[in-house]
Amino acid sequence: MPITEPDTLSPTLQLAFALLSRPSVTPDDEGCQDVMIERLRALGFHIERMPFGDIKNVWAVRGHHGPVIAFAGHTDVVPSGPPAGWEFPPFSPCIDDHGMLCGRGAADMKGSLAAMVTAVERFVARYPDHDGRIAFLITSDEEGPAVDGTRAVVEQLRERNERLDYCIVGEPSSTERLGDVIKNGRRGSLGGVLHVRGVQGHVAYPHLARNPIHQAMPALDALVNEHWDAGNDFFPATSFQISNLRAGTGATNVIPGDVEVVFNFRFSTEVTHEQLKARTEAILTQHGLEYQLDWTLNGEPFLTAEGALVEAAIRGVEAVTGKRPALSTSGGTSDGRFIATLGAQVVELGPLNDTIHKVNERVRASDLDDLSRIYEATLQALLTTDEVCL
């Protein structure tokens, strides 16, 4: 029978149940941060609520000197979709007969948040006068526009000249087994919306019209086949992808007057977003298009190629799993792109990502207990001189 009452479970799983039971669909927090704040305040954290607009954020710090290691994450989740498609109700967490913790946010990323809190609880119990400072940066705006969440908190910290040396983002990074991959960077994301103007007319009289689709196609083909860069040891080559193309009135006998093309670059550190903009606009101009192009920079690429945090995270994974993780920069964007601008070393380390954003999201329950131990071991490697062993 599925386990629906967490009383007999580990502290990590009990906290995960408490967070998963709250339907905190972006941008709502539904009290998740209050649950975490209560636990952190009991450990002596200074709690600072940092709301921006309708978004709830928390910056919590314990300690007064030395390097700052922050745990970063989000309490918001994506919509569950029709509940009828779920084996168990999406916001009624349970552990099924196969030992899987089921519920929206189990992997992305309330499970990680629970593991972070309990890891810090154990670490503080062992090292109440630890060196350095431990911080939490929690938002309810990661799955949404990501404007008034981590981005806004980081800007506030920058204005205050707050120090942030290391950051572990709890995004689900693992692929086949817990801890097999640590994300030590992410590609940049640059979006564009291109409007190519033509002249609307009757399809039987093309000489009286100008078809913007026909005009745009050679330019789009050039963009698709452009060699933007070759990537490097940490990043694949920059990718250009068209995600949407809209034109026409719906009638079959009308040449459209304009076409809208939505596209995105995922780019490496070999090229800047300004270079991508300039090269794109040069290609469009070369093809003689009458166009308007609106850009959105979603995030710069960031990379922690080496350093104390990468080494500590690797040691933490090895101490718990006995296996060495691989480093990767694959995948989409995360809030690490904002945190890295403070000069912090940033890694992403969390559970398996095979069910994130899907119906029946789930994660192995025992993995969350092991993830908590990995976080604790990483803290130990960074803030103590003790041998990392749990």
Q: In terms of residues, how long is the chain?
A: 390
If one counts every other C-beta atom within 10 angstroms of the C-beta of residue 281, the result is 15
- The DSSP call for residue 253 is T
Backbone angles phi, psi at 337, to 5 degrees: -65, -30
- Name which of 50, 66, 49 is nearest 134 in CA terms: 66
As a whole number of angstroms, the distance between CA 375 and CA 116 comes to 6
Structure tokens at 168: 């572990």
As a whole number of angstroms, the distance between CA 238 and CA 229 comes to 6
As a whole number of angstroms, the distance between CA 288 and CA 215 comes to 9
- The DSSP call for residue 45 is P
Residue identified by tokens 């092991």 is: 370
Q: Which of 29, 30, 108, 142 is catalytic?
A: 142
Residue identified by tokens 């669909």 is: 25
As a whole number of angstroms, the distance between CA 265 and CA 146 comes to 18
- CB 131 within 8 Å of CB 385: no
Q: Which of 76, 141, 370, 376 is catalytic?
A: 76
One-letter amino acid of 11: P
Which segments within the chain are labelled E, that is strand?
46-49, 57-62, 68-74, 94-95, 100-102, 133-139, 166-169, 181-183, 185-186, 188-197, 201-202, 239-247, 254-255, 258-267, 291-299, 302-303, 326-328, 345-348, 362-364
Any catalytic annotation for residue 76?
Answer: yes
- CB 96 within 8 Å of CB 363: no
- CB 114 within 8 Å of CB 15: yes
Any catalytic annotation for residue 361?
Answer: no
One-letter amino acid of 212: P
Which residues belong to the active site? 76, 142
